Structure 1
Amino acid sequence: MTIRMMLISSAAALAAVSGAQAADAIVAAEPEAVEYVRVCDAYGTGYFYIPGTETCLKISGYIRTQVNAGPNASATTGNGSTVANNSDWDMYTRGQVQFTAKSDTEYGPLTGVIVLQTNADNASSQAAVLDSAYIDIAGIRAGLFYSWWDDGLSGETDDIGSKVTLHNSFRYQYEADSFYAGISADELEDGVFKTGENGNNIGIAVGLGGKAGIFTYQITAGYDTDNEEGAVRAMGTVAIGPGTLGLAGVYSSNPNSYYSKSEWAIVAEYAVKATDKLKITPAVQYYGNYGAINGNTDFANVDAWKYGVTVDYQIVDNLYAKATVNYLDADNADGVTTGFFRLQRAF
């Protein structure tokens, strides 16, 4: 075989092998596009789209450490319950996380909120609670949430709210730019009851409020069907000088789940904005017919005064300190001084 024929044969064989390998080659698939988290600015800051959906999610919360002082100081475990403590001081820590989901519908934003809370009186005494969980759409809210009776003035002296303000409820609330009004049906299963009575556990509450220039206002009322008693409360604030004056009054026909501290009470406070970071709020409250008697059926014929001051200070962004001291003086008892110091990191 000539050299020329050998070269031609080798080239043909090489071409055949290369063709076979090309036919058997594995072609790599194109990588799928990675969907990074997108910012959702339709509902304010902090929201992002859940990947693959049009639902916006916000995660927020806080870490709180607080020292309580006073006779038989106690630590809250969430939902209004406390841990008994015979000491004159007590320290507890709380961690709270809130998940807020929102999406657009033909009826307006559909909102879902879950608030998880864990309170630790110490390493061996802890309680995890569902602090809130509700659905909200077109002004209708259903689930576990705080009522209007949980609202109060800015300081820590006023005592004009319900003993328990977290309920399973159905509520409708109309909202405009500077006004709201609503009605709710509340389950009062852990409310205040007359001796030996615990019936349908239903309460009806109404609330309205808003802003008018330098004024804010709120009126709240509730009727406890089991106790067949009700309460009404009015609050308002007005900017005066370097601070804000807050006034409130409450009346209760007899002890019930909406108000049971006294037959009536009035409170005044003045929140002074001393600096951009420091606020000082002195306050005073007067109780008429203070305390429940006869198995929670009547108010006592006792008057009481409460005096206090609250100091709020922003240490840095998202880190706050709060301290309060209060003195309660009732006609039928010695005066009692209580207070707390709190550090809270929000996120």
Structure 2
Amino acid sequence: MTMKSLLLGAAAGIAAIGAAQAADLPMTKGEAVEYVKVCTSFGPGFFYIPGTDTCLKIGGEIRADYRVFGGDRPSFLGSSSFSRDDNRSGFNTEARIWFDARTQTDWGLLRSYFQIDADSHPLSAGGRSNAYNGNTFTIDKAFIQFGGLTAGYAHSFFGFYDNEYGDTIWGPYYAESNTSNLIAYTAQFGGGFNATLSIEDARDHNQNGFAGIDTTAPVVPAAGEFVAFNQGGTTVPDVVAQLRWDQDWGTLAVQAAGHEQRSGVINPNVTFINGTGERNSNKYGFAVGGDVLIKIPAIDGGHFIVEGQYADGATDYLGVGNSVLGSVDNFYNPFLGNVERGKGWSAVAELGGNITPQWNANLVASYLDVRYDNALVNAAGTGTVDYGIKEGSIVGNLTYTVVKGLTIAGEVAYTRVEQHNGDFVTAPAPGVFKDEKDNVWQAGIRIKRVF
């Protein structure tokens, strides 16, 4: 037998052994590879979650803000002007990220939305936040939509200016801007008409009072003192309704809200001027409003919108939380021991659009007028006086798009604040306050990257 024959025989034997062993192994097929596919049903940026029919969009932005403040810083029933504890300049960086998941079902669109915001050093409209404020993380939105149902933490259905426009960078405007825990249903009637009924957490629409008399022994409010209102626990949620008509030329809307005011016990030892003690109070307030939006076809994204509202005992719906001074829903009447509801009105108007493909401009004007009848003890300590707040603000900004997703914006805002305190004397150092008027302005730039 030649060497060649031996080699060929050995190779054949090895091949036979390998084939026999392979026959004992389980047969397998190549694993299917799941690729991320683009979802075109809901606009750009959506993709299918592998293995599902759900489309997901992940987005975010970084905002770098640089601001300066000037004028007088108003304070509640006190002196105006900036102190050494207030900011005359401030930097702030904010990061936002959101997730939008949508699935088309036989019963309609199923959507869930979640957004979280993180601030490095948040600043108020008047620069009142001091240098010691640290990082904050907040849930901006978290809600589920299914057909006409909305459930979760979403923007209040009272008004739509803040949710759909509100194009100031920092400048204040006075409109409902709260996010609320709610459950709502929107019915579509065709022809652009829809109606929404929303049940919202009243705690998200409360404006609490200030610290007032705090003693451990029976006391009568003296001249120059005021009695704080403390919001009690919620028993009845807010009821919000809106009727809206959307057309190619714009939108008309009317809305209303009901709000409970329930006092909490501050100090059972307080005795009021008429000799009575503090009494609990349950009252119900309301707010009504309307919107007009007119689109300007000659300008890309051009629009003019006006929103106005009146409230009695539900001042959150006026946007008092956005004011430079700050405000509350109610005061105690220091004679009767009852809650006196705050009432007033506010309005905001915006004109804006893209004046070129790179430049966007917005001009916003807003006004707030709130009063509290019988809120304070007069200078003589023999009766009560009214307290009132008026704020007017005008804001202008200009935004330049450097490249897609990157913008640089500048804004200037001026606010006029007036306090009407009647014949009120502050304690413990008496000093009559008739009216106090302050001017606040701010300016700055924002660099923003959206992805």
Q: TM-score w.r.t. structure 1 length?
A: 0.80
Aligned residue number for residue 22 of structure 1: 19
Q: For 2:167 and 2:52, how far apart are their aligned partners in 1?
A: 42
Q: Per-residue deviation at 1:118?
A: 1.4
116 and 209 in structure 1: CA distance in 2 versus 1, 3 angstrom threshold: same
The 10-residue stretch of structure 1 (95-104 or 321-330) with the greater mean CA deviation from structure 2: 321-330
CA contact (8 A) 1:282 1:309 kept: yes
Q: Per-residue deviation at 1:200?
A: 1.5
The 10-residue stretch of structure 1 (324-333 or 125-134) with the greater mean CA deviation from structure 2: 324-333
SS in 2 for 1:30: coil
Give the letter aligned to residue 286 of structure 1.
Y
Aligned residue number for residue 92 of structure 1: 92
Q: Deviations over 1:91-113 (max 9, x none)?
A: 11111111111112221121111
CA contact (8 A) 1:255 1:292 kept: no
291 and 338 in structure 1: CA distance in 2 versus 1, 3 angstrom threshold: farther
Aligned residue number for residue 342 of structure 1: 446
Q: Per-residue deviation at 1:58?
A: 1.0
- Is residue 198 from structure 1 mapped to residue 207 from structure 2 by the alignment? no
Q: For 2:363 and 2:12, how far apart are their aligned partners in 1?
A: 96
% identical aligned pairs: 23
Number of corresponding residues: 330
Q: Per-residue deviation at 1:316?
A: 2.0
Q: Per-residue deviation at 1:207?
A: 2.2
13 and 310 in structure 1: CA distance in 2 versus 1, 3 angstrom threshold: closer
Aligned residue number for residue 101 of structure 2: 101
Q: Deviations over 1:141-172 (max 9, x none)?
A: 1111111346335442562323x611111111
Aligned residue number for residue 130 of structure 1: 139
Unpaired runs of 5+ in structure 1?
74-84
Unpaired runs of 5+ in structure 2?
74-84, 123-131, 210-228, 262-282, 321-342, 377-384, 419-435
Aligned residue number for residue 187 of structure 1: 201
Q: Per-residue deviation at 1:239?
A: 3.9
Q: For 1:35 and 1:187, how far apart are their aligned partners in 2?
A: 43
- Is residue 274 from structure 1 mapped to residue 338 from structure 2 by the alignment? no
Give the letter aligned to residue 312 of structure 2.
S
CA contact (8 A) 2:412 2:443 kept: yes
Q: Per-residue deviation at 1:174?
A: 2.5
Q: For 1:7 and 1:30, how far apart are their aligned partners in 2?
A: 39
Q: Over aligned residue pairs, what C-alpha RMSD do you find?
A: 3.5
Q: Deviations over 1:104-147 (max 9, x none)?
A: 22211211111122111299921222221111101111111111
The 10-residue stretch of structure 1 (164-173 or 322-331) with the greater mean CA deviation from structure 2: 322-331
Aligned residue number for residue 31 of structure 2: 32
Q: Deviations over 1:247-280 (max 9, x none)?
A: 2222111353323637113343432643232233
Aligned residue number for residue 365 of structure 2: 284
1:304-315 alignment to 2 at 5 Å? 304-315=391-402
290 and 17 in structure 1: CA distance in 2 versus 1, 3 angstrom threshold: same
Q: Deviations over 1:281-305 (max 9, x none)?
A: 334333334689939xx98445443
CA contact (8 A) 1:193 1:257 kept: no
Q: For 1:345 and 1:55, how far apart are their aligned partners in 2?
A: 27
The 10-residue stretch of structure 1 (12-21 or 140-149) with the greater mean CA deviation from structure 2: 12-21
Aligned residue number for residue 151 of structure 1: 161
1:239-278 alignment to 2 at 5 Å? 239=295, 244-259=303-318, 261=320, 263-271=344-352, 273-278=354-359
Q: Per-residue deviation at 1:187?
A: 1.1
Give the letter aligned to residue 448 of structure 2.
Q
Q: Per-residue deviation at 1:182?
A: 0.6
Aligned residue number for residue 65 of structure 2: 66
Aligned residue number for residue 80 of structure 1: none
The 10-residue stretch of structure 1 (99-108 or 64-73) with the greater mean CA deviation from structure 2: 64-73
Comparing both structures, which one devotes a greater share of its residues to strand?
1
SS in 2 for 1:189: helix
CA contact (8 A) 2:197 2:239 kept: yes
SS in 2 for 1:104: strand
Q: TM-score w.r.t. structure 2 length?
A: 0.63
SS in 2 for 1:228: strand
Q: For 2:254 and 2:13, how far apart are their aligned partners in 1?
A: 92
Q: Deviations over 1:166-224 (max 9, x none)?
A: 11111111245734321111113242146123222621112233433423233332211
Aligned residue number for residue 127 of structure 2: none
- Is residue 161 from structure 1 mapped to residue 172 from structure 2 by the alignment? no
Aligned residue number for residue 280 of structure 2: none
CA contact (8 A) 2:174 2:368 kept: no
SS in 2 for 1:275: coil
CA contact (8 A) 1:230 1:254 kept: yes
CA contact (8 A) 1:158 1:284 kept: no
Give the letter aligned to residue 200 of structure 2.
D
The 10-residue stretch of structure 1 (272-281 or 138-147) with the greater mean CA deviation from structure 2: 272-281
CA contact (8 A) 2:95 2:118 kept: yes
SS in 1 for 2:19: helix
104 and 18 in structure 1: CA distance in 2 versus 1, 3 angstrom threshold: same
